Amino acid sequence: MDPAVLREDMVDGLESPAKDVLQNEAVAVAMRDVPRHEFVDDDRTAYADREHEVLGTRVLAPSTVARLFDALAPTANDSVLVIGAGVGYTAALAAELVGETNVHAVDIARPLVIEARRNLADAGYDGVLVDCRNGADGLPEYAPFDRILLEAAVVSPPRAVVEQLAADGRLVVPQGTQQQRLVAVSADGSRSERGPVSFDPLLVDGEQLGAIERNRTAREDREHARRRAESRRGWEQDWIEWDRAVDH
């Protein structure tokens, strides 16, 4: 069957009362336009509302993608960062919504970075920048971002990523461990929940796809260690200042 027809059927299903997960018309138009079969090898099921496994990562079901973008709500010319590029499908949707040169994507797994670049080029979105990075660090060279989409679960949004939001920006992130919620976080700290989700945890440097255990707190541990170190330096500085005051 013609892929364009399959895309129409896919979006019609997401907009139907039975699923009702797609209310943003701009997102619906983008999902009708992006050739999902360029990102999922199995043409027969590329437009089915199901997940796929590619190179050790999950390609999200269309209904999950629709929920992410409904929460993200990017508008034309927004600067967008996708953390967890995967096979590149969500980056392609973002490109349809804001323009491909406004979309940046990172992934910690180099094979996925290569796959995403190839898929995006084949689908006509080779202007999207995809780089191999630790997602917890964001992409500071191109910050600030109007919208940031984190496609992996965290206990709390990485501080470095939040700091890369524009003044009126929005971060959409799956938050939690056993019970996860999709959360939209604004740069001013306000937040809204968008219902339950289930995502793999965010990987950090040194972790590999397919590992039996994944360290879900490495980023938090690193941040706490940094804060403790800064606290000690602050105390030592105060002591030096006090010594000087006594000498004088």
- In tens digits, the chain (248 residues) has pLDDT values of 789 999 999 999 999 988 888 989 999 999 999 999 999 987 778 999 999 988 888 899 999 999 999 999 999 999 999 999 999 999 999 999 999 999 999 999 999 999 999 999 999 999 999 999 999 999 999 999 999 999 999 999 999 999 999 999 999 999 998 889 999 999 888 899 999 999 999 987 655 554 433 444 455 556 656 665 665 555 444 444 444 444 55
Task: Check residue 101 and give its pLDDT.
Answer: 96
Q: What is the pLDDT of residue 240?
A: 44
Secondary structure class of 145 (helix, strand, coil): strand
- HSE value, Cβ hemisphere, 13 Å, CA-based, for 86: 26
Report pLDDT digits (tens) over 48-69.
Answer: 999 998 888 889 999 999 999 9
Alpha-carbon span 204 to 219, nearest angstrom: 7
For residue 188, count other CB atoms closer than 10 A to its CB. 10
Spatial neighbors of 129 by CB under 8 A, at least 6 apart, are 103, 104, 105, 142
The bridge status of strand 145-150 relative to strand 129-132 is unpaired
Convert the pLDDT of each residue in 199-219 to its tens digit. Answer: 999 987 655 554 433 444 455
**Residues written for the chain:** 248
Interatomic CA distance for residues 25 and 223, integer angstroms: 39
- Model pLDDT, residue 38: 95
Handedness of CA 74, 76, 82, 85 (dihedral sign): positive
Q: What pLDDT, on the 0 to 100 scale, is given for residue 1?
A: 74
- pLDDT at position 115 is 96
pLDDT for 189:
85
What DSSP assignment string belongs to 153-189? BBSS--HHHHTTEEEEEEEEEEE-SSSEEEEEEETTS
